[in-house]
Amino acid sequence: MARYITFTNQKGGVGKTTSVLNIGAALASKGYRVLLIDLDPQGNLTQSFMTEMPSDTIFTILMKECSLEDVLFQVKENLLLIPCSSKFANFERQFAADADSQYILTDLLEDIEKAYPDQLDFIIFDTPPALGLITLNALVACREVFVPMNSQEFSLTGLEAVVDVVSRVQKRANPKLNMKGIFFTQHNPRKYISRNMADTLAANFPGLLLQTYIRKNVALEESPSLRQDVFLYAPESNGASDYEKLTNEILKA
Ligand SMILES: Nc1ncnc2c1ncn2[C@@H]1O[C@H](COP(=O)(O)OP(=O)(O)OP(=O)(O)O)[C@@H](O)[C@H]1O
Ligand SMILES: [Mg+2]
C-alpha cells in the first residue's frame, strides 16, 4: 500500500511546492516509486518539470476527458507527475454541487490503485494556498498531512486553522487521516526566532514539530526555473542536505 501524503498550509509562499518537488525527487532517487499530483491552478509544481503545459491535466482526467495513461507523465526515473493548469480553478464550480464533492480525488486514487496495483510507494499532493474544496478533497483522499511553515512569518492562528480542518476531516470523512508533522522552511539560523517558536509550537501541538529545519537557500529558489530539483542543480547546497534530512525523517514518521 502506497503512502498518500498531502503538503498543505492555507498561507501562500511557505514552501509547499518546493517541499513536494524536492522530497519527491529525494524519494525517487532512493528507489521509491513516486507520483506527484499538482492540485494548484497556479501550476508551480508542473512548471518545475515542464516547459509547456500539456493538454491533459488533473482537470481533464477528473472531467473524464482523457485516460489515466494520458495524464501520468514520467518526469524522472521513478517519478510520475499529474500536471495542473489554470483550468483547475474551475474545480469548485464544476464539482461543488455533486453529492460526493469531497470524494472526487478519493475516486481518482482508487482508479489509479486499480489500474496500477502495488506499483507506487508514494502519492503526494501539492495543494493551493486555501482551505477550499480542492484541499478538502486532498485531505479526504490522503492518509498523512505535513505542514510547511515559513519560520520568518510564523503564525499560530494560521496553523490552528489547518489543524482544525484536518481534525474535522478525521472525525467524519476520513478517520484514517493523520497529522504527521509541521516543519519550518526558509529558516534563517542567524535570526533569533526559533527557540520561542519551537517552544510555542511544542506547547500547542505536542510531538508534531519535525526536527529538520529547511534553511533559506538560494539553490532552492533557482532550481525550479531550470526544471531541476535541488539535488541535480546544487547537490552540495544546504537546500539539498536539508531536504535529504527531511525526507529521511518523513520515511521514519
Ligand atoms: N528554503 C527556501 N529558501 C529560499 N527560497 C525558498 C525556500 N523555500 C521556498 N523558497 C522560495 O519561496 C517561494 C515560495 O515557495 P513555494 O512556491 O514552495 O511556496 P508555496 O507554499 O508552494 O506557495 P503557494 O502557496 O503560492 O503555492 C518560491 O519562490 C520558492 O522558490
Ligand atoms: Mg505552491
Say if residue 194's pLDDT is above 90: no
| pTM above threshold 0.75 | yes
Atom index in ligand 1 nearest the CA of residue 18 equals 18
Residue 250 lies in a domain: no
Residue 226 lies in a domain: yes
- Give the residues surrounding ligand 1 with Cβ less than 6 Å away: 12-18, 40, 42, 44, 129, 185-186, 214, 216-217, 220-221
- Report CA(236)–ligand 2 centroid distance (Å): 24
Say if residue 192's pLDDT is above 70: no
- Report CA(51)–ligand 2 centroid distance (Å): 17
Atom index in ligand 1 nearest the CA of residue 218 equals 4
Say if residue 195's pLDDT is above 70: no
Residue 228 lies in a domain: yes
pLDDT digits (tens, 9 = 90+) for 66-121: 999 999 999 999 999 999 999 999 999 999 999 999 999 999 999 999 999 999 99
Which cell goes with 244?
535529504
Residue 66's domain is classified under what CATH number? 3.40.50.300
Mean pLDDT of the chain: 95
- Closest C-alpha among 200, 206, 214, 199 to residue 149: 214
Q: How many Cβ atoms sit within 10 Å of the Cβ of residue 167?
A: 11
Mean pLDDT, rounded, for 182-187: 94
Say if residue 242's pLDDT is above 90: yes
Residue 253 lies in a domain: no
Question: What is the structure's pLDDT at 151?
Answer: 83
3-state secondary structure 50-64: CCCCCCCCHHHHHCC
Q: What is the DSSP letter of 214?
A: E
Instruction: Of 17-26, 65-74, 181-190, 237-246, give the lowest mean pLDDT range.
Output: 181-190
Question: What is the structure's pLDDT at 193?
Answer: 60
- Report CA(21)–ligand 1 centroid distance (Å): 11
What is the number of alpha carbons within 13 Å of residue 152 lying toward its C-beta? 10
Strand 79-82 and strand 73-76: the pairing is antiparallel
Say if residue 198's pLDDT is above 90: no
Q: Residue 51's domain spans which residues? A: 3-245
Chain position carrying cell 489509479: 112
Question: What is the structure's pLDDT at 173?
Answer: 97
Question: What is the structure's pLDDT at 152?
Answer: 79
Total count of domains within the chain: 1
- Report CA(216)–ligand 1 centroid distance (Å): 10
Do the Cβ atoms of 139 and 93 come closer than 8 Å? Answer: no
Do the Cβ atoms of 142 and 7 come closer than 8 Å? Answer: no
Do the Cβ atoms of 103 and 140 come closer than 8 Å? Answer: yes
First to last CA, the chain: 16
Chain position carrying cell 529545519: 213
Residue 79, H or E segment: strand 79-82
Which cell goes with 104?
472526487
Question: What is the structure's pLDDT at 69?
Answer: 97
Residue 251 lies in a domain: no
Q: How many Cβ atoms sit within 10 Å of the Cβ of residue 180?
A: 17
Question: What is the structure's pLDDT at 188?
Answer: 86
